[in-house]
C-alpha cells in the first residue's frame, strides 16, 4: 500500500486515488496541501490553549466527512480558497505562530497530507521550533500513517466519535469506525505514553481523547467512556464535549439532501450531566468537561470561502 500520494492509501478509506496526477479521493484533495486559515486559537482544552493561545493551522479536506461537520465550509472541498503550501511554507507558518507566542502548533485535519506534514515538522525543528506539535485528528486513522509521526508528534488530540457501527455508518458512511479508532489510539498511546505537562500546566506530550456527545446517543457515549477507562486508564486525558450544534448545510456539502432528524437538535443537558457525573465517579485523574452550554458557532473560525 502506498503511504505517499500516488495510489493513496493514507487513510482507512483506501481510495487508491492517484493524487500525484491531480486526482482526488474521498478527502476531496489532490497532493498539494491547502491551508485555509492559521491563527492563535483559544477554544481548545486549557492545557492546549492556555492564555497565549494554540497556534492552529486549518487544513482543507477531510477523509471522514461527518454529516454534522462544524468545519464543513472547508472540509468537503466545496471551496478552494485556501493557500497551497509545500513543506517549507508550512514550516514557515509554524515559526510565525511560534513567534506570536503560541503554546503549541495545532494541525487540524492534516492526515490526508501526512507525508508533507511530516516533512514540515522536520523542517520546522531544523529552524528552531521548540514548542510541541499537536495532530488534531478524527480517530479514523491508519496506524501505518500514524507511525510516520513517531518521534515527531508531541500531542495527539484525537476524537473518539462512535461506538455503534450503525451510528458511524449513518454519520459518515463507515461501519468500521470503532475498530479503526481503537487500533489508532492504541498506536498513539504506544508512541506517547502518559501525559506530560510543564511547570505552567501546559501539555508537552501525550494523548487527549475527545468525545462529542450526540443527540439521543447517551448509550453510545457510555460505551465509549467505559472503553477508554478500561483500555487506557490514566495514560490519556479525556475531554467530554457538549457543544454539538446542528449544521444543516454540512450534509448538503456531503452530497446528501437532508440532515437525519435525530441530528437536528441539541444534546439533552441532563444526559451531559449524567456522563460528567459518571466520569467524576470513575476517579479518572485527567478529565475535561464543559461548563454551561458550549453549543453554537462561537468557536467556529471565520474561514475563507
Ligand atoms: S487520504 Fe484521501 S485519497 Fe488517500 S485514501 Fe484517504 S480519502 Fe482516499
Per-residue pLDDT tens digits for 157-180: 999 999 999 999 999 999 999 999
Best probe residue, ligand 1, of 4, 6, 7, 14 (max atoms within 8 Å of C-beta): 14
Q: Which residues line ligand 1 (CB under 6 A)?
A: 8-11, 13-15, 17, 19, 25-27, 63, 112
Nearest protein CA to atom 1 of ligand 1, as residue: 112
Please tell me the predicted confidence (pLDDT) of residue 78.
65
Give the C-alpha separation, 267 to 245, whole Å. Answer: 9
Which residue's CA is minimally distant from atom 2 of ligand 1? 27
Q: How many whole angstroms from 84 Cα to the centroid of ligand 1? A: 18
* Predicted confidence (pLDDT) at residue 32 exceeds the cutoff of 80: yes
- The reported pLDDT for the residue numbered 247 is 76
Could you identify the residue written with the cell 479525556?
238
Burial of 1 (0-12, 13-18, 19+ CB in 10 A): exposed
Confidence of residue 293 (pLDDT cuts 50, 70, 90): low
Query: Of 14, 23, 25, which is best to mutate to test ligand 1, by the most ligand atoms within 8 angstroms of its C-beta?
Result: 25
Question: In terms of pLDDT, which residue wins out, 250 or 261?
Answer: 261
The continuous run of DSSP H or E covering 193 comes out as none
Helix (H) or strand (E) holding 90: helix 87-99
CATH class, domain 32-207+245-264, is: alpha beta
29 alpha carbon – ligand 1 mean position (Å): 8
Of 179, 61, 37, nearest to 112 (Cα)? 61
Q: What rounded mean pLDDT belongs to the chain?
A: 92
Which residue in the block uniquely carries the three cell numbers 515527531?
Answer: 152
- Per-residue model confidence (pLDDT) at position 238: 98
Neighbours of 84 (CB within 10 A): 12
What's the start-to-end Cα distance of the chain, in Å? 34
pTM over the 0.85 mark: yes
pLDDT confidence of 254, banded at 50, 70, 90? low
* Range in 17-26, 108-117, 131-140, 285-294 with the lowest mean pLDDT: 285-294
Neighbours of 115 (CB within 10 A): 17
Burial of 298 (0-12, 13-18, 19+ CB in 10 A): exposed
Task: Give the C-alpha separation, 188 to 144, whole Å.
Answer: 11
Amino acid at each position: 500500500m502506498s503511504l505517499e500520494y500516488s495510489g493513496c492509501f493514507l487513510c482507512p478509506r483506501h481510495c487508491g486515488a492517484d493524487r500525484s496526477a491531480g486526482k482526488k479521493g474521498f478527502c476531496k484533495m489532490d497532493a498539494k496541501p491547502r491551508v485555509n486559515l492559521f491563527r492563535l486559537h483559544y477554544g481548545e482544552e486549557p492545557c492546549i490553549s492556555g492564555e497565549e493561545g494554540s497556534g492552529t493551522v486549518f487544513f482543507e479536506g477531510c477523509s471522514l466527512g461527518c454529516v454534522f461537520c462544524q468545519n464543513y465550509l472547508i472540509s468537503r472541498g466545496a471551496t478552494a480558497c485556501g493557500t497551497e503550501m509545500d513543506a517549507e511554507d508550512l514550516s514557515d507558518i509554524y515559526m510565525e505562530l511560534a513567534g506570536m507566542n503560541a503554546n503549541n502548533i495545532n494541525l487540524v485535519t492534516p492526515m490526508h497530507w501526512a507525508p508533507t506534514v511530516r516533512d514540515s515538522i522536520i523542517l520546522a525543528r531544523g529552524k528552531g521550533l521548540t514548542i510541541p506539535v499537536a495532530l488534531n485528528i478524527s480517530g479514523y486513522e491508519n496506524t501505518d500513517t500514524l507511525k510516520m509521526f513517531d518521534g515527531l508528534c508531541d500531542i495527539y488530540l484525537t476524537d473518539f466519535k462512535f461506538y455503534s457501527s450503525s451510528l458511524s455508518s449513518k454519520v459518515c458512511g463507515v461501519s468500521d469506525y470503532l475498530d479503526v479508532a481503537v487500533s489508532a489510539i492504541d498506536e498513539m498511546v504506544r508512541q506517547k505514553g502518559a501525559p506530560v505537562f510543564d511547570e505552567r500546566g501546559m501539555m508537552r506530550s501525550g494523548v487527549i481523547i475527545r468525545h462529542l456527545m450526540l443527540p439521543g446517543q447517551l448509550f453510545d457515549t457510555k460505551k465509549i467512556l467505559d472503553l477508554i477507562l478500561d483500555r487506557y486508564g490514566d495514560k490519556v486525558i479525556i475531554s467530554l464535549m457538549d457543544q454539538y450544534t446542528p449544521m444543516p448545510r454540512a450534509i448538503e456539502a456531503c452530497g446528501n439532501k437532508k440532515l437525519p432528524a435525530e441530528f437536528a437538535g441539541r444534546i439533552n443537558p441532563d444526559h451531559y450531566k449524567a456522563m460528567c457525573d459518571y466520569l467524576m465517579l470513575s476517579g479518572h485523574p485527567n478529565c475535561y468537561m464543559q461548563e454551561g452550554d458550549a453549543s453554537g458557532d462561537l468557536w467556529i473560525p471565520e474561514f475563507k470561502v
